Copies of this chain bind each other. A is one copy, B any other.
Amino acid sequence: MKLSVVAFPSKKLQDLANTYRKRYDSHYAKITPYITLKEAFEADESQLADISNKIKSIAEKYGPLKIHASKISSFFPTTNVIYFKIELTEQLQNIHNDLYHEIDIGKPKHVFIPHITIGRDLTETEHDDIYPQLRMIGINEKEEIDRIHLIYQLEDGSWTTYETYKLTGAL
């Protein structure tokens, strides 16, 4: 099965992201707005308990994630993904590293750029039309996220939460 580790921002920030995703994100109906901490990876159902325990240990090391959605940006020309940029902090980088190090399945495909996707699978014309507008509107939201989620994907591409882990540590 396909798994991933994510942080869901506050309802307020999810609602805001969805006002854009509804129109611009092809995955809008598959999952509510999220920040990926470990990209989707394949694992056998028999490994779930072990993976879950490892995430639990990591979550016990870190305190609530301090996030700052600072601007609207794009991965163009790599992909036509438009996103809320989350400022990279030492805390986010460390928890990301720990997740890859401890759950030794799947290597990072990209440098870690924490973000909330708001547009995806746009044509180049759509992207070039929408992106400058969104960039101008921008975003500036700070908040704390006190838990992370292990999620799994169904055959239709949608995601269900397997477990939540409270961030109860000091880091």
Residues of A within 8 A of B (CB): 1, 8, 11, 14-15, 18, 22, 28-30, 32, 45, 147, 149, 152, 154-156, 158-164
| Min distance, Cβ A122 to any Cβ of chain B, angstroms | 19
Question: Known: A18-B155, A154-B11. Contact between A32 and B164, CB under 8 A?
Answer: no
Contact of B155 with A8 in the complex, beta carbons under 8 Å = no
What is the predominant secondary structure among interface residues of chain A facing chain B? mixed
Q: Decide if A161 touches B158 in the complex (CB within 8 Å).
A: no
Query: Please, which residues of chain B bring their CB within 8 A of the CB of A28?
Result: 29
Q: Can you list 14 A-B pairs with a CB-CB distance of less than 8 A?
A: A11-B45, A11-B154, A14-B154, A15-B155, A18-B155, A29-B29, A29-B158, A32-B154, A32-B159, A149-B161, A161-B161, A161-B164, A163-B164, A164-B164
Residue of B nearest to A161 (CB): B161
In the complex, chain B residues whose CB is within 8 Å of the CB of A45:
11
Complex CA gap A83/B8 in Å reads 30
Chain B residue nearest to A158 in the complex (CB): B32
Tell me which residues across on chain B come within 8 A of A160, comparing CB atoms.
8, 11, 14, 32
